[in-house]
Structure 1
């Protein structure tokens, strides 16, 4: 069949996620169901048909929770693909590169996962021959992250092990006999010993060029640091014996020793591969790093909008900051100008009252949008008549809803309690950011299958909403035209999804503290744990350099854009909302009984080893 006559692929490719020795791996989704999959594109020149079919034969024999399963083979006009399970956590190598040495409990659990997968493969008579962190993938389940073996591209049958004549593989993880073209079950055990050593020590037992590695594996004795518990040292050394006969006879044997180790040692296993914050709260460099202002009422919502002179040509001054806070049914607005991180008030507080209590404020480049129980309002501060604030009604939905607005006020999406998606567009003639009143028009409402927990706009054309169902979270993608593109599920219950300064990256706050916060990339879909071990945050602020998370005790955790901890501050207790006023100044809202307080926290006044 010619390429032009082959059917179109059933899968839409979302992005490249990896490059193996035999081809590329893509993230994709089924065009009809939206199910996420990995598509392994096997290059016909480097991976001829007989090799392709051989790997497929191995994969079809393997069905185990700790092995990446092959779901289908597709030969379409787009190419030849193995359709595999998608593992959103990426490779074990990715995790090790980000964090170095993983916590002992998680390292042991990952190794036990891999051993269970290898036990199943061995029971089918298959030897992997290329076990390494790059070929171990991680996926998130309800009990936490689990490891799965992938890439059986150079696997062999046990019955052929005595006739092997090649030394294909990764020299850093190859058993001594592999350098002479010999392999057996014990060759995979040796590779697992190297991986286990690297997990708990933070480096491989040997490093160097291929010829040096060969010499080390053949002749040099392995030394395990004394910091590793003695029972675990014995397991590693047995797996790394030079002679195959002295190693574990099977994956089951090594797994049994690790199970006994788990009973002997408190591994302090946590669901996220993280350590406790490595330092106490940052020391203050001044006597007054936090300035507090009292307010006449409990704060319900807080938002900060930062404007430059180029965005506001009517402004009598340069860049300025607009702070909005809601108390019951009233919205208060104050404008500040930043001079070397000293904020000076430019106007008195403006105020506008709405018919309902305000439940949420959402900032945009043109100001702020207020959400009540049934209505959406656009707040219009008049830059020429300080202090003045008006509220323009965008929509009266008459029933409760969840909504979000585009950062530049181009469109709004809402899902109502009766399960309908509404989308509003701003009129083209009102896209001038200086206009005080905007015309909005709505598209016909679109039915949604079930109630949703949150709506999030991603870019100029796409948004997501999500719901929790049966212990999982279903995420659905839609367009500003009201069309649905696909969906996928997370194996945990989500409490909040928060955008970031990086396109298509969001912060996921789970409902329970079993997993800890996660960073989720949507294009292509990837998830990574955030390396902190604290109470789940009650509020989060987005910064140009990352995030600030606050827990109920007032601990402020500063994270860079990759989720790494860069600082910790002991801030005001019981925060209800936080927002960045500038690159280095944080605004924290708290309530004491029926009165609110706004606290200015200058991050530059703390001993934080980070360039903002």
Structure 2
């Protein structure tokens, strides 16, 4: 069990992995309403479609389902389509694939005599099939029913934001599901839902209020939405396939959603001159700065040092050859593996004490560990008190593998991301990584990767990033001319100007930044960020 993914009124959903196969699955565990859950299990047993979440095992209390690491459409709306970072419009190619997947899955449901009755972004799961392709699947059949067994409840209507007018009166049909898809399409194209308010206000709006559209939305897109969101079911699209055909006829150039630009993010100028520190014993460029309980680990290709909170530099270990080096978040141990294409080499596992490094054990890479070292390795990360990760890219560079090993070098398992990654670092949050990558169309993205449970959130960036730096209170995305500060949810806080050029940046504590650079020789400096007046952070 990797952790809980989400929970609702009647059930909890967990992320788990089959030990024998390494396959990720979602476990939906019912807490109440077992009779209703039995109906959901019965419906799942009838379904087999690529755009409907696959059920492997169903019982009266538990469902074993396919796992979707990219979360829900709702979580993607908060990051991928962040209105503060998009270039004035949402990617129609992404919208097109998501809506097409939903309608194809819905067509399959309707042909099998099933009405979903609760379509909303929270119930649309996303999986990244390739760097540029998100696959949408329909999930959560708790409100679903068979066409020959209509649901006439006026309380169990699903989300009122996405409910068709007749759903409030206890009626549901194929047309009701298409109305819900229309609301989601409106939200994707316009950037907001057509109606908002209390349940009573939503009742009035869905029944009587007309739609409003931004001037930038084409006439053809407006007409499609007017049909999908018609108050009378008989005047909507007659089927999911009919709606899909009308949607696919829209041209890319005719779609432009009105969202704010990145200029809405404030800019703060960094004026303070950092205080330089001594760098005795550091001879190679600093590759990483790792925040630790005792200070900050300073990693170069051939050495490991620790800068204490009192700004004292302690030498921990030196190596004869270039190594991948990482220190555990607890500051208790480190791993060093050689950067080499030779097979007969040794690495080191070392234990750390307050005064430095006093114990070590050689580790001889064999099997999977050796294979990873000889492949396209991009990072080694000590993730907790017992395990370290090796992150490598596939030869075709469209997939990234996160492989887990014990401190003795025993392979435990792997996670896969269908995304090109160029840089990846641990964050201040346990079992969380931050990465930079690109899509197949070379669009830069930032990836927030949670390992327990496994979830990947994607943020499309409006500029080309050079480096990423996780801090105690957010993330720095550094470009050639821009520096963007994000909070822990990937939402933009501010643009930074005047920050000294640095190879690596990390938090020494909640207010001080440690900066490492390498012009003609390594340099370290400390800067106090409390003068930046970042009220959202401190």
TM category (shorter chain) comes to 0.7 to 0.9
- State whether structure 2 residue 2 is matched by structure 1 residue 14: yes
Matches of 1:380 and 1:580, distance apart in 2: 12
Task: State the Cα deviation string for residues 124-170 of structure 1 (Å, max 9, x = none).
Answer: 44332211122112222321434321123333345x27x55445432
Matches of 1:517 and 1:475, distance apart in 2: 17
Q: Which runs of 5 or more structure 2 residues have no equivalent in the other structure?
A: none
Q: Match for residue 245 of structure 1?
A: 234
Task: State the Cα deviation string for residues 450-500 of structure 1 (Å, max 9, x = none).
Answer: 333311112222322121114211112233354433221001122222111
Change (3 A) 1:409 1:578: closer
* Residues 35, 487 of structure 1: 8 Å contact kept: no
Matches of 2:324 and 2:453, distance apart in 1: 26
- State whether structure 2 residue 83 is matched by structure 1 residue 116: no
Task: State the Cα deviation string for residues 226-270 of structure 1 (Å, max 9, x = none).
Answer: 45443322221111111112111222222233323234426599x
Matches of 1:185 and 1:58, distance apart in 2: 18
Q: Secondary structure at the match of 2:358?
A: coil
Counterpart selection for 2:116 from 128, 148, 155? 128
Q: Match for residue 195 of structure 1?
A: 184
* Residues 55, 152 of structure 1: 8 Å contact kept: yes
Moved more, 164-173 or 83-92: 164-173
- State whether structure 2 residue 473 is matched by structure 1 residue 545: yes
* Residues 413, 421 of structure 1: 8 Å contact kept: no
1:309-348 equivalences under 5 Å are 334=277
Q: Match for residue 332 of structure 2?
A: 410
Matches of 1:573 and 1:147, distance apart in 2: 43
* Residues 198, 204 of structure 1: 8 Å contact kept: yes
- State whether structure 2 residue 57 is matched by structure 1 residue 73: yes
Change (3 A) 1:211 1:421: farther
Q: Match for residue 524 of structure 1?
A: 453
Change (3 A) 1:141 1:188: same
Say which one has the larger Rg.
1
1:190 is displaced (CA, Å) by: 0.9
Q: Match for residue 289 of structure 1?
A: 271
Matches of 2:192 and 2:365, distance apart in 1: 56
Aligned residue-pair number: 513
Q: Match for residue 505 of structure 1?
A: 432
Q: Match for residue 360 of structure 2?
A: 440
* Residues 34, 61 of structure 2: 8 Å contact kept: no
* Residues 425, 440 of structure 1: 8 Å contact kept: yes
Task: State the Cα deviation string for residues 71-97 of structure 1 (Å, max 9, x = none).
Answer: x1166xxx9532222112222233445
1:203-602 equivalences under 5 Å are 203-226=192-215, 228-265=217-254, 267=256, 277-279=262-264, 282=267, 284=269, 289=271, 291=273, 334=277, 349=278, 351-352=280-281, 357=284, 360=287, 362-363=289-290, 364=292, 365=294, 368=297, 370-372=299-301, 375-378=302-305, 391=315, 393=317, 401-416=323-338, 417=340, 422=347, 424-426=349-351, 431=353, 433=354, 435=355, 438-442=358-362, 445=365, 447=367, 448=369, 449-451=371-373, 452-469=377-394, 470=396, 471-510=398-437, 513-514=442-443, 516-530=445-459, 532-536=461-465, 538-551=466-479, 553-571=480-498, 575-580=502-507, 583=510
* Residues 423, 481 of structure 1: 8 Å contact kept: no
Matches of 2:388 and 2:246, distance apart in 1: 49
Task: State the Cα deviation string for residues 569-588 of structure 1 (Å, max 9, x = none).
Answer: 34479753344566556566
* Residues 266, 493 of structure 2: 8 Å contact kept: no
Q: Match for residue 42 of structure 2?
A: 54
Change (3 A) 1:199 1:280: closer
Matches of 1:350 and 1:450, distance apart in 2: 33
TM-score of the pair, normalised by structure 2: 0.81
Matches of 1:421 and 1:500, distance apart in 2: 28
Matches of 1:454 and 1:421, distance apart in 2: 17
Structure of greater relative contact order (alpha carbons < 8 Å, 6+ residues apart): 2
Matches of 1:368 and 1:53, distance apart in 2: 51
Moved more, 177-186 or 452-461: 177-186
* Residues 544, 583 of structure 1: 8 Å contact kept: yes
* Residues 285, 522 of structure 2: 8 Å contact kept: no
1:367 is displaced (CA, Å) by: 6.1
Change (3 A) 1:240 1:350: closer
Q: Match for residue 145 of structure 1?
A: 134
Moved more, 405-414 or 236-245: 405-414
Matches of 2:337 and 2:385, distance apart in 1: 18
Change (3 A) 1:177 1:541: closer
* Residues 421, 446 of structure 1: 8 Å contact kept: no
* Residues 400, 418 of structure 2: 8 Å contact kept: yes
Q: Which runs of 5 or more structure 1 residues have no equivalent in the other structure?
A: 1-12, 293-320, 324-333, 335-348
Counterpart selection for 2:66 from 58, 82, 85? 85
